Structures are given as C-alpha cells and as structure tokens.
C-alpha cells in the first residue's frame, strides 16, 4: 500500500484575515442590535409588568372597595327603611298630638265661654246684691223714723217701737250679709277674670301647637318622600355595585393570568438578554482572536492608535510622578466627590485636575485619525472618566438632556463597555455597543481600548470610539 501524506493546513492570506474580521465585525453589530432590541424589550416588559401589577392591585382594591360599598349600601338601605318607619311613626304620633291639642284647644275655648257666662252671672248677682243693700239702708232709715214716731206716741207706741227695733236689726243683718256677698262675689269675679286670661293664653298656645304640628307634619312628609327617594336610589346603586362585583369577579382571574404571562415573558426576555450578552462577549472574543491572527483589518489603525496613546499616557504620568508633580497614590484615588447641582451627576478625585493638564495633548490628536472617530478618553477601573475631549466637556446647562450629550467629562460610566474597557488587561479590547447620546438617541459604535499601567500597576484604560461601518 502506498502511504498518502496528510493534508497540510493552509494559512489564509492577510486579505482573507481582513475579510474574516469584517464578517465578524458585522456579526458583532447584528448581535449588538439584537441585544439592544432585547434590552428595550426587557424595559418594555418590565414597564408592562409593573403596569399590570399596579392594575391588578388597583383591581383588587376596586373589588374590595365595591364590596365595601355594597355592604355600606345595604346598611344604608336598612337605615333608610328604618328612617322611613321612624318618620311614619313620628307623623302618626304628631298627628295624634295635634288631635289632642285640638281637643284641648276646643275645651279651653268652651271653658272660656263658660267663664264669660259665669262672670256675667256674678255681675248680675253683684247688681242684685247692691239693690238688696240699698233696700236694707232704706229699711233701716224707715225703722229709725218709726222708732222716733213710737217714742212720740208714748205708751201707745211701745208695741210699734218693738217692731221698729226688730226691723232695724233685720236690716242690719241684711246689710252685713249683702256686704259679705259683695266681697265674695268680687273675689270670685277676680278669680274668674284671671282664669279667663289664662285660658285665653292656653288657647293661643294650643293654636300655635296645632299650626306648628301642621307645618311639622308637612316637613316630615317631605322628609319621608326624600328618604323614600334615597331608598330607591340606594336600591339602584346596590344593583350597579352587584354588577361591578360580578364584572370584577369575572375579570380578576383573566387579569391574573395576563399578569402571570407578562411575568413569564419578562423572565424569558431576561434570559434572552443574558444569552445575548454572553453572545456579545463571545463575538468580541472572536474579533479579538481574529485581530491577533495578524494581517490588516479595518480596525487595525484604531488598535495601533489607542495602544500607542495608552503607552504615551503611561510615560507622561510616570515622568510626572518621578518629578513630584503628583503622588502615585493620588492617581489611584477612588474617593469620588460629587459636584453639587450637576445633572447628570459629575464627580472629582485627587487626580482630576492632573488629568485635565496632561490628557488633552494625547487624547485630542486621536480625533484626527479618521472621520469616524467620535471620542478618545481615559477611564479608571470603575469607569470614571475625568477628562473628556473638549467637544464633550462643555459647562453644564439647566437642561439635563443637553448635558447628557455635551457634558460627559467627570462622570462615571459603569456600563458593560465602560467597565470592561477600564478593567481589561489584554493588549487591546475591541467592543461593539450602542452609545447613549441622551434624549433617547443611540448610535452604534465600536470601542477599542488599551490598558494604562503606572509603575506596573493597572490604572484603567484608554478608550477610542468610532462609528460602525
């Protein structure tokens, strides 16, 4: 048998490596778009889930409230019926009282008439008694005259004198009795006069009671009508509440099911987002490995630029430490001090001013490398960006949306791309991402970064971002 040699792997030429890089970059951009869509979908799902949860809570509160209203309406209906019964009883009692008052008034009126008759009789008695008194006076005078004549007659007039004395005594008794009758009659007349006055007052009070009772009766009838109307409306409300309860009871399970489905969808989006994030990491690793294979690609000039600039920063900063212009510990200060009244929030550290003095001379020239370059800026391991390019380091205004685009210095960008760029220790890191420009605007970008080391200690990384082809 003739042995056949094994096929020798063929190394693709540099042109094929560049084509591979472009394909991988295109794949990375598609994955980033998918991840961005999933992020947006995740936010939407979370918002829907919160809305559904809030709505479900509101529905439960509505159901509880409607049941409470139903119970309250039932109690109100019972109270209204009790009020109707009480008003009916009050009307009956008042009518009975009014009838009694009428009877009393009639009796008092009749009594007043009788008192008038009695006073008239007393007046007649007093007149007759006055006549009797007058007669007694005249009789007494006649008795005195008879006594005088009997005295003149001597013995012949003695019998007549006895009769005259008897008549005088009778006249005196009659006069005394007449005076007594006059006194008693006058007293009775005064008593009946007072009784007549009082009976008139009682009659007037009775008439006022009757009038008030009539007005109260009318008012109670109006109240009874109103309460009955309220009772009828309560019955209508009770029927409507029952309909609401029935609708809530029917709708609640469907709403709960919808909420559960939204929650499952949200969980699925979270899982898909996590997988897309892992896929982004793998695609970036593939891009990284493809770039390390050698050959020219569309990213090679940017990789070379950022590595060169990062090395220059290391050199300048180490020279500054050696010259005593800054202490090494200050370059690694992580106590970020918030700048008051900044939106978005800006912070400073002990190395911020030093970065303002040293980084622009290295970062600004990188912007002229290619028209696609958007920014070049250094970040520490926590994503803090002390000094940005001049066009992104404007003084803040009162508009947070404008600030988010034009005032990006002195801010911490602790997103996935920013943290990976600051913590990467490989010769370079190439990432694809959507840059938040503020106001809901995003731009698809590539971000290549190289580590910055000071005295062998990892400080962070220099980021060079450029537009995606």
Rounded Cα distance, 270 and 265, in Å: 9
pLDDT at 4 (0 to 100) = 39
Contacts of 36 (CB under 8 A, 6+ apart): 434, 442
pLDDT at 432 (0 to 100) = 84
CATH homologous superfamily of domain 24-294?
Answer: Methyl-accepting chemotaxis protein (1.10.287.950)
Instruction: Specify the range with the lowest mean pLDDT, choosing from 35-44, 54-63, 163-172, 235-244.
Output: 35-44
Cβ(364)–Cβ(378) below 8 Å: no
Domain ranges of the chain: 24-294, 295-467
pLDDT at 11 over 50: no
pLDDT at 320 (0 to 100) = 97
* pLDDT single digits (tens) 345-365: 999 999 999 999 999 999 999
Give ∠ CA 404-428-392 in degrees, rounded to 5: 20
pLDDT at 12 (0 to 100) = 47
* pLDDT single digits (tens) 148-178: 877 777 777 777 677 777 777 777 777 777 6
* pLDDT single digits (tens) 260-274: 666 666 666 566 656
Mean pLDDT confidence for 281-308: 74
The CATH code belonging to domain 295-467 is 3.30.450.20
Which range of 99-113, 177-191, 426-440 scores highest in mean pLDDT? It is 426-440
Beta strand ranges found along 297-413 (DSSP E): 337-338, 347-348, 373-380, 384-385, 411-412
The closest of 284, 322, 254 to 55, measured between CA atoms, is: 254
pLDDT at 141 (0 to 100) = 83
State both tokens at 92. Answer: 């009956």
State both tokens at 94. Answer: 């008042």
Rounded Cα distance, 392 and 387, in Å: 9
pLDDT at 101 (0 to 100) = 63
């Amino acid at each position: 048998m003739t042995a056949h040699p094994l096929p020798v792997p063929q190394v693709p030429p540099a042109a094929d490596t560049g084509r591979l890089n472009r394909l991988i970059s295109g794949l990375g951009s598609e994955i980033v778009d998918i991840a961005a869509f999933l992020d947006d979908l995740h936010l939407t799902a979370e918002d829907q889930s919160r809305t559904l949860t809030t709505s479900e809570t509101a529905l439960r509160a509505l159901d509880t409230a409607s049941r409470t209203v139903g119970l309250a309406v039932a109690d109100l209906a019972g109270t209204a019926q009790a009020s109707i019964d009480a008003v009916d009883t009050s009307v009956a009692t008042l009518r009975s009282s009014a009838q009694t008052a009428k009877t009393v008034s009639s009796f008092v009126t009749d009594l007043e008439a009788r008192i008038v008759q009695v006073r008239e009789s007393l007046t007649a008695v007093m007149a007759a008694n006055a006549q009797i008194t007058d007669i007694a006076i005249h009789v007494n005078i006649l008795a005195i005259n008879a006594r005088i004549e009997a005295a003149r007659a001597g013995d012949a007039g003695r019998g007549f004198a006895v009769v005259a004395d008897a008549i005088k005594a009778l006249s005196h008794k009659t006069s005394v009795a007449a005076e007594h009758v006059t006194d008693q009659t006058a007293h009775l007349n005064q008593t009946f006069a007072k009784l007549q006055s009082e009976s008139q007052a009682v009659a007037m009070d009775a008439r006022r009671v009757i009038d008030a009772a009539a007005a109260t009766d009318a008012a109670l009838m109006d109240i009874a009508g109103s309460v009955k109307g309220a009772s009828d409306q309560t019955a209508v409300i009770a029927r409507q509440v029952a309909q609401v309860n029935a609708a809530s009871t029917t709708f609640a399970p469907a709403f709960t099911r919808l909420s559960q489905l939204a929650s499952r969808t949200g969980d699925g989006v979270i899982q898909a987002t996590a997988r897309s994030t892992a896929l982004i990491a793998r695609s970036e690793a593939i891009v990284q490995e493809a770039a390390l294979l050698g050959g020219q690609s569309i990213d090679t000039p940017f990789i070379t630029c950022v590595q060169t600039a990062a090395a220059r920063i290391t050199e300048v900063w180490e020279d500054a430490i050696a010259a005593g212009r800054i202490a090494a510990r200050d370059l690694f200060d992580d106590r970020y001090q918030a700048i008051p009244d900044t939106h978005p929030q800006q912070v400073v550290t002990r190395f911020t001013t030093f970065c303002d003095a040293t980084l622009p001379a290295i970062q600004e020239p990188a912007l002229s490398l290619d028209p696609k370059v958007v920014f070049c800026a250094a970040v520490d391991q926590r994503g803090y960006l002390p000094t940005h390019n001049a066009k992104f380091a404007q003084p803040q205004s009162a508009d947070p949306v404008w600030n988010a685009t034009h005032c990006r210095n002195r801010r911490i960008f602790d997103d996935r791309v920013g943290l990976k760029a600051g913590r990467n220790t490989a010769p370079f890191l190439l990432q694809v991402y959507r840059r938040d420009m503020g106001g809901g605007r995003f731009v698809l970008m590539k971000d290549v970064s190289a580590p910055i080391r000071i005295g062998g200690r990892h400080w962070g990384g220099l980021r060079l971002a450029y537009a995606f082809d």
